[in-house]
Amino acid sequence: MLILRRADVTDVLSGRETEIIDLVADTYRLHDEGLTSLPHSTFLRFPEERHGRDRIIGLPAYRGGERPVAGMKWIASFPGNVAAGTERASAAVVLNSLDDGRPVALVEGAVISARRTAASAALAARELTTHNPPTSALLIGCGVINLEILRFLAAALPDLREAALYDTDPARAEAFAERCAEVAPAVKAHAVTDLAGALGEHRLVSLATTAATPHLDLSACGPDTTVLHVSLRDLTVESILGAVNVVDDADHVCRERTSLDLAQQAVGNRDFVAASIGALLRGTAGLRREAHRPVVYSPFGLGVLDLALAEFVREKAELLGLGVRVEDFLPA
């Protein structure tokens, strides 16, 4: 068993944003071809009131193709951690041998989860704005995920020069600007307090909050806006129904009371979903933009992306001699 710690994972992934985006794109293509297996995620919740928003999610997955991989991500989300000064999410990824099924690696998964999420968002931003690449973005929610999204947007969108930052805690947005300067020095990041005004000024919006219920409509958005709806529960049903919607997988994203699930419940179908990102990448679907309707990308966060990236990390770590190997984890 190879155990890869956070420092090992970070060392491997550092500076590889373009490679990670390409890996995510290839995995989405395989998914659209039917070469993956993705059971629905299992949500573990707790009966005690003090754990109201806490959950642990299991995401088993298999990616086929030329470099198959199988395993599971186990990720905990405890929003109260943020107020305590620790990260909301923690995760581990187990990789299994496809020869005998035995676990071969245990990989720290929070960095993998954040970077595959960011790569997915940046990939969508690039693909959905090729007609008119944005030079600025509005990041709503000043946490780990939007920090990584900015890092990957800077790699995917070479014309990006400005990032407006909004958070319900203005002081947090101000502090976040300094961290943004570290991960994307070519992008001028600054805090804003007028959310409606910012929505009207920036054609690219990234939503990465801890919201549990819809709180935002897109009426203030200007024409030709693309919204990366990463946290999935921010937008009102009316906003979803009024948008051109792109998803990673409709079966996965239209559940667990996401904004799209609520929209599905309201109208009784998923006709509001225009295309999947995998189909767009493969050219098996197209997307028609309309000036008065924003394009909203809502990725559930498919476990197969975590597995693909964890296997990428494992392969590189083996070559670099990173990690801790436990020879007697399993019986001989």
* Parallel, antiparallel or unpaired: strands 162-166 and 136-140: parallel
List per-residue pLDDT tens for the chain, 332 residues long.
Answer: 999 999 999 999 999 999 999 999 999 999 999 999 999 989 899 998 888 889 999 999 999 999 999 999 999 989 888 888 888 889 999 999 999 999 999 999 999 999 999 999 999 999 999 999 999 999 999 999 999 999 999 999 999 999 999 999 999 999 999 999 999 999 999 999 999 999 999 999 999 998 989 999 999 999 899 999 999 999 999 999 999 999 999 999 999 899 999 999 999 999 999 999 999 999 999 999 988 899 999 999 899 999 999 999 999 999 999 999 999 998 87
Q: Would you state the pLDDT for residue 162?
A: 98
**What per-residue confidence (pLDDT) applies to 86?**
86
Question: Which segments within the chain are labelled E, that is strand?
Answer: 2-4, 36-37, 42-44, 55-63, 69-77, 89-96, 103-108, 136-140, 162-166, 188-191, 204-207, 226-229, 244-247, 273-276, 295-298, 324-325
Cα–chain center distance at 28? 13
Structure tokens, 197 = 């005004």
pLDDT value of position 87: 83
Q: How far apart are CA 196 and CA 186, in angstroms?
A: 26
- Per-residue model confidence (pLDDT) at position 186: 97
Give the pLDDT of residue 159. 97
0.85 cut: is pTM over it?
yes
